[in-house]
Structure 1
């Protein structure tokens, strides 16, 4: 396997090289090894590693510091036999297919290209490449760095290169996961009246979720769309047994005007009477459009700032007191799809915009 990458090559081809290194969450060591070796060949960078998270910094004594971050992991590969968004990558004209093409190896390729291009930047730069973003927050490589070496993340602005179609997406929704459980009484299904069906007890909850009308919440001039959905269900042990236990997993994507506790209280009101247990939560981030550092990036890349509907690690940076935005190549609607892809022109345009801004 390749031991290091050619960071000076076309950034779209570099994206393909990254896709060709499988890195499903929990299996990021190979890609982290390659990126660490590639960064160690850049004499102007100080490189540190924390598990499979890597931090590379310039130390030029500039008055400002910009942090550019991206995660190395992808969701699992698609299972459909005709899926094109898998590994290895595949070109169709100027369209690059492969798992992570949009989420977010195109963004990581831009980061790596910037490390090679900006050897004497006008602002000091910090590059963060981290593992375990696509899974529960407790495993996050970014959290690991923040815990072990918080000073390495100090910056005037953090830019997360998640796919945004080339627009600045400010802030992000929060995310909350709850599990609803029901208990019944097991019985032979031929004598169902002797038991109590736990699955049936959750019918009203599913109906409430289906009828729920999500809000669009204005936060600092941006409309954040919310969502409340069942994302998993289970119960039953055999085809001839009335189930005595069942569950539904619920995900609430909430606007950044709420804390996780406020979001949980809202869901409990909607699903009153059901037994709910929080399994995961991450706060959102307000847009911060009044921050000078954010304004400078929005002005430089053009267009109006947009809201980020999904949760991203801009929220983690916001909790650290660092203004943060999303800005990266690709269409977020293609992330995690069977035909995940990115246009070569989108990756090149993102790199060009950031080079112009940073120089």
Structure 2
């Protein structure tokens, strides 16, 4: 417990927002090399820092992927960290995903450099997950693992399904008029609100997945109007739409485009990432279940409602799951924290998983 707390506190104390991962990468490289692990840099196009890869292989049987970046520090109350209290460690990145990173490092340390070198296992420490996902994208294109575990806070459940995402930037147009002559104008803010309601009413948004829940339309940014008594002629929107597994791409996009066609709006796709679902009988899911049961934990399957590094690997054909300690709802908040006991449980799970794959 003390070792986990000390290592996690060191990682939290190193700021690592996307694009500024250099210091934490240097720390991790030093930590790994001190324990005999050779480390290779894997360049990431368009990003200032590389991924770090331990025991690189063109096609590993198992790849453990954990990102080292965080979101930028947010305003408001709450520590950037680290603060330890009542068996919890508070701080930015504690749950997403530095606590999971500690669990993986402890498991790899227990396995040892020699056994890892003789195994079909690769460890990847990726950059840019919280921004554009370029670290995992580059690695997935250059390395085609058979199976991938992306480390994220799942509360020690096996994330076998992941929602896709459609991120849209929109400019809703209206017609300006004096604020008291509402009949003479067309209010762009009202048009934007109507567009949101119509999107939320779509069948693809009202659909439900047993492990993820319902589709969702999330406004991330809205700006429109001015103080002067003028009907606003412009409203800017940035939306994130949750795309559930099982919904075909063409149907998903056609329903959304149908709504947008009814409004005076210019729009562009900022990001489009497909959902995926790994079957219960897949060897990786079964291996994760055995590792959990070996340490006395239930093998519960779950869904991940957001994009993770698992997506590009699944797109290129890997069996993929998401797994790790921590509560996703606390991530990116001033109250972010993680239980140290849960990190140790995750480390034991990872240790059993690694040992199972390292056996000849």
CA displacement at 1:111 relative to structure 2: 2.3
Q: Which runs of 5+ in 1 are unaligned?
A: 1-7
Cα distance change of structure 1 residues 232 and 13 upon mapping to structure 2, 3 Å threshold: same
* 1:170 shift after superposition: 0.8
The residue number in structure 1 matching 2:290 is: 299
Aligned to 1:5: none
TM-score (norm 2): 0.84
Contact residue 294 and residue 325 of structure 1 kept, 8 A = yes
Q: How many residues are paired up?
A: 339
Separation of aligned partners in 1, 2:343 and 2:336: 14
Counterpart CA distance in 2 for 1:199 and 1:17 is: 46
Aligned-CA RMSD value = 2.8
**Relative to 1, partners in 2 of residues 1:292 and 1:191: Cα closer, same or farther, differing over 3 Å?**
closer
The Cα of 1:113 is off from its aligned counterpart by 2.2
Whether the 8 Å CA contact 2:107–2:348 is kept in 1: the answer is: no
Q: Which residue of 2 aligns with 1:93?
A: 86
The answer for the alignment partner of 2:6 in structure 1 is 13
SS in 2 for 1:298: helix
Determine if contact 1:255/1:284 at 8 Å carries over to the other structure: yes
Q: TM-score, normalised by structure 1?
A: 0.84
Per-residue deviation, 1:189: 4.0
Q: Does 1:74 align with 2:67?
A: no
Describe the SS at the equivalent of 2:162: coil
Q: Distance in 2 between matches of 1:183 and 1:31?
A: 45
1:1-359 equivalences under 5 Å are 10-50=3-43, 51-58=48-55, 65-81=61-77, 83=78, 86-119=79-112, 120-121=115-116, 123-137=119-133, 140-147=134-141, 150=142, 153-187=143-177, 189=179, 195-209=185-199, 214-217=206-209, 222=211, 224-270=213-259, 273-274=262-263, 275=265, 276-302=267-293, 303-359=299-355
Distance 1:237 1:115, change over 3 A: same
Which residue does 1:3 correspond to in 2? none
Question: What is aligned with 1:4?
Answer: none
- 2:358 aligns to what? none
Runs of 5+ consecutive residues of structure 2 not aligned to the other structure: 294-298, 356-360
Cα distance change on mapping 1:43 and 1:141 into 2, 3 Å: same
Q: 2:140, 2:313 within 8 Å by CA — same for their partners in 1?
A: no
Distance 1:307 1:250 in 2: 22
Say whether the 8 Å CA contact 1:162–1:326 is kept in structure 2: yes
